[in-house]
């Protein structure tokens, strides 16, 4: 029997599954070594922390405030909750700027700056959502001298990729590689040393409703796009994920 390559899903919304136990079990059996579970607001962060607590050494939590979930009434409480919980998380996310979202750019930027300050204070990587905002987000994290960051589901400008890589930041690939020529082009341009795999589960990619085990689909697609074996991609991206999120030192 062919051995299944070992991979890490670096971006999953486990809190969106009514009962995540089944998909976690399936992931373990499907060669997934670890899952980075991201949060979007207080209740999502809380659920994410609980799921991580129930799955030590396998589900690693990140707490965040997604640009789609911004609500001025909740800002202070959400930021305080992130600040209070970040020390036992592996990253701050999902956060970022979404210039197609309804919240004004200026308002989004102000929150993002506060989140950036919290990430800096705890020296944690940020997991970034960017839409029509890659240059701005990159400039802001670079100016803040944030040590580590992930530009998730990279679909930004191709010319930004070498700059993101030179700053030591990471970019991640999703199952959108199955059908999206732009994502394919971008992922083909990311240096292997800066590449991560993810699902953004439970996102539906055309007929594929993803679960964390589908990070294997991402792996197969990256191998196809790059013309390198799945084993080689799995080994390198797993090493990258461990380095990015300091998984070795995390307990």
Min separation Cβ 93 and Zn ion, Å: 8
Both tokens of 109, joined, read 């930027």
Nearest by Cα to 112 from 86, 90, 89, 138: 138
> Of the ranges 25-33, 131-139, 199-207, 226-234, which one interacts with Zn ion (CB under 5 A)?
199-207
CA–CA distance, 217 with 101 (Å, rounded to integer): 29
Q: Which residue is nearest to Zn ion (CB)?
A: 200
List alpha helices for 60-214, DSSP H.
75-85, 105-122, 134-143, 161-166, 181-189
In angstroms, the CA 25 to CA 28 distance is 5
Give the whole-angstrom CA distance, residue 101 versus residue 121: 28
Per CB under 5 A, the segment of 96-104, 108-116, 200-208, 228-236 that binds Zn ion is 200-208
Please report how close the Cβ of residue 234 comes to Zn ion at its closest, in angstroms: 22
Indicate the pairing of strand 59-63 with strand 32-37: parallel
Q: How far is the CB of 35 from Zn ion (least distance, A)?
A: 13
Which one, 13 or 81, has the nearer CB to Zn ion?
13
Residue 111: phi, psi to the nearest 5? -65, -45
| Nearer to Zn ion among residue 43 and residue 193 (C-beta) | 43
200 binds Zn ion (CB under 5 A): yes
Q: What are phi and psi of 128, to 5 degrees?
A: -110, 130
C-alpha 29: how far from chain center: 22
Site track 152-191 with Zn ion (rule: CB under 5 A), x = hit: ----------------------------------------
- Min dist CB 40 to Zn ion, Å, is 8
For residues 194 and 171, is the Cβ–Cβ distance under 8 A?
yes
- Whole-number minimum distance, CB 97 to Zn ion, in Å? 14
- Total site size for Zn ion, rule CB under 5 A: 2
Q: How is residue 143 annotated by DSSP? A: H
In the stretch 32-71, what mask flags binding to Zn ion with x, by CB under 5 A? Answer: ----------------------------------------
Name which of 94 and 221 has its Cβ closer to Zn ion: 94
In the complex with Zn ion, which residue's Cβ is closer, 9 or 94? 94
Identify the residue whose tokens are 């029997």: 1
Residues 68-127 that bind Zn ion (CB under 5 A): 94
Q: How far is the CB of 11 from Zn ion (least distance, A)?
A: 6
Q: Are 222 and 233 in contact (CB under 8 A)?
A: yes
Tell me which residues touch Zn ion (CB under 5 A).
94, 200
């Amino acid at each position: 029997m062919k051995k299944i390559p070992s991979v890490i899903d670096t971006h999953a919304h486990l809190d969106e599954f009514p009962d995540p136990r089944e998909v976690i079990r399936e992931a373990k059996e499907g060669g997934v070594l670890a899952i980075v579970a991201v949060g979007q607001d207080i209740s999502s962060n809380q659920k994410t922390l609980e799921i991580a607590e129930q799955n030590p050494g396998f589900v690693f939590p990140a707490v965040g405030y997604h640009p789609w979930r911004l609500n001025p009434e909740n800002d202070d409480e959400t930021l305080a909750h992130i600040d209070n919980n970040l020390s036992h998380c592996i990253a701050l996310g999902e956060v970022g700027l979404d210039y197609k979202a309804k919240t004004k750019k200026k308002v989004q930027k102000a929150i993002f700056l506060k989140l950036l300050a919290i990430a800096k204070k705890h020296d944690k990587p940020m997991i970034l959502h960017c839409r029509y905002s890659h240059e701005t987000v990159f400039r802001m994290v670079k100016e803040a001298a944030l040590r580590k960051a992930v530009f998730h589901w990279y679909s930004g400008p191709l010319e930004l990729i070498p700059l993101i890589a030179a700053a030591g930041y990471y970019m991640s690939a999703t199952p959108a590689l199955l059908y999206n020529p732009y994502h394919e082009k971008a992922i083909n341009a990311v240096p292997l040393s800066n590449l991560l795999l993810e699902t953004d589960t439970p996102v539906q990619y055309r007929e594929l409703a993803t679960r964390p085990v589908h990070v294997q689909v991402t792996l197969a697609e990256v191998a196809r796009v790059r013309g390198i074996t799945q084993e080689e991609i799995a080994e390198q991206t797993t090493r990258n994920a461990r380095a990015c999120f300091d998984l070795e030192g995390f307990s």
